[in-house]
Amino acid sequence: MKKIWDKIFHKFRTNKRFIVFLFTLLFMGVLFGALFAVKLNSNDLQEIKTSLESFFKLLNQNKLNFLSTFFQSFSANVMFLIAIFFFGISVVGIPLTIILFFMKAFTLGFTIASIIKIYHMKGLVYSFIYIFPHQVINILVYIFCIMFSISLSMTLVSALLKKKTVDFSLIMNRYIFVFIVAFVLLVFTSLMETYLMPFLFHSIFS
């Protein structure tokens, strides 16, 4: 176990430029998502506002189905994680992983900007509760996994092109361990999104 953790930390130290690239991609995705939200017409904004108001109404009436909310949150997070996992063991996984991560960042930026545009100053507080801390942890987990996913995909491509032998059992053991850790963290963040976020909304705005 200690050897696996040592290799993981070594991976972080030797991939600083790639981590910077992922954070840049995150920033660009959030920015484009926010710009897209700013350009929405009043009808589209009204649909989003209706959806948000329905959530707040259920919350204020204590009618929110927490179990259903948890499974929705958890399934969305895990499906994204599974996609990253399988892209990593594919020779065409690199561009797909980058596109998927950009789309996730775009959605985050779109959601935050939409909330702020609808609720103005109050929307800043709404957005903060929406992203902190669970969404922040999710993004860090995704970046953590994407780094290993793309690294494995590059190893596969290199092995095929150069026809060299690679100890895939060792690589896969580390790869699976990383995603197990990520899975556990996503359970934790889904619980926070299900119980902590509504609690904060209810405590501050009820």
- At 183, list the tokens: 């899975």
pLDDT(57) > 80: no
Closest C-alpha among 110, 15, 72, 21 to residue 190: 72
- Buried b or exposed e, range 153-184, using 16+ CB within 10 angstroms: beebeeeeeeeeeeeeeebeebbebbbebbbe
Average pLDDT of the residues in 27-55: 84
Average pLDDT of the residues in 52-75: 79
Average pLDDT of the residues in 121-135: 85
Average pLDDT of the residues in 139-147: 91
Average pLDDT of the residues in 150-164: 78
Q: What is the mean pLDDT of the chain?
A: 83
pLDDT(206) > 80: no
The DSSP string of the chain is -HHHHHHHHHHHHH-HHHHHHHHHHHHHHHHHHHHHHHT--HHHHHHHHHHHHHHHHHHHTT---HHHHHHHHHHHHHHHHHHHHHHHTSTTHHHHHHHHHHHHHHHHHHHHHHHHHHHTHHHHHHHHHHHTTHHHHHHHHHHHHHHHHHHHHHHHHHHHHHT----HHHHHHHHHHHHHHHHHHHHHHHHIIIIIHHHHHHHHH-
Residues 72-126: tens digit of each pLDDT:
889 999 999 999 999 888 877 888 999 999 999 999 999 888 888 888 888 888 8
Domains of the chain, by residue range, sit at 2-205
> What pLDDT is attached to residue 175?
86
pLDDT(22) > 80: yes
Q: In whole angstroms, what is the distance from residue 137 CA to residue 190 CA?
A: 10
9: pLDDT confidence band, cut at 50, 70 and 90? low
